[in-house]
Amino acid sequence: MTVQPYPLKFAPEFKERVWGGRALERFGLTPPEGAIGEGWMIADHPNGTTRVVNGPLAGKGLDEIREAYGRDWFGSRGFSERNGRFPLLVKLLDCNDDLSVQVHPTDDYEGLPEGELGKTEMWYVLDAKPGAKIIYGLKEGIGRPELEAAIAEGRIMECLQEVPVEAGDAFYIPAGTVHALCAGVVVAEIQQNSDTTYRLYDYNRPGLDGKPRELHIEDSLNVIAYEGAGATRMKTDGVRPGVWLKIAESPYFVVEKGIVDGSVKLATTGDSFVILIAADGSGTLRWNGGEQPVAPGDCFLVPANLGEYEIEGSLTVLRSRVP
């Protein structure tokens, strides 16, 4: 069966986390009972694959679509050269409590599980309670010896840089950057298609099974970029309708923020699919042959061969592609 390309919407894969809550219900999602920390919105990974909920391909997994439609739909850059899978993973995160202090490896770390990628990511803050903060990097002058000593003496928090956050803030987190989301923050996350995290510290709390969660001290110390990995952050509240602000750029993804007030006409190229995330507001996504309502939290995979499309309404949109 030949299917004409159209924007794909997926049913999320929900993940219970010790730090999760119920905030994803605000986006019209129906997570299962429990402390739900992650909604994997677009995923093609052994630990979670999302299935289409709209159009002729409803019920198909992203992996099946990748295998059936290949480069026509995903573009010449739309695959991981390492494992052949979709190259990105898109999540919504509800941080009802502090996440562990963690760091992610690069693609070339020899300790990576077979078939896994490194994990460079970015966050866009959808909501933040007053006084919310995150951990974002090491303090100046902290190298491996200083960090090792602090871990051994139970004072790792003295080595970490805390920064306040508000809705609309964007953070680029290259692999090797020590980081942690903290309580009271809801974010959209765009990352390499990886589920590898090394924990440095977890507040000595039990996991969902009542046992202490595993730490990965040696791997963490090995992969930290002590001189910095190029992490950047920015306020994005100055964006005006009709202008796309680049809020994160890496070898794996480029993310832009745009304000739609009325109608915006866009188009794909053959190089890469586009991912659209509605951060707030509402509207309609239109293309030749169809349309789809858009609400906060909605995520769409726009095929590389779709061509022209239009977003109409009043909403804030994150637009991502593979460079």
Annotated active-site positions, please? 199
Q: Compute how many other C-beta atoms are within 10 angstroms of the C-beta atom of residue 280.
A: 16
How far apart, in Å, are the Cα atoms of 40 and each of 245, 257, 259, 298?
25, 20, 24, 12
Q: Compute how many other C-beta atoms are within 10 angstroms of the C-beta atom of residue 143.
A: 12
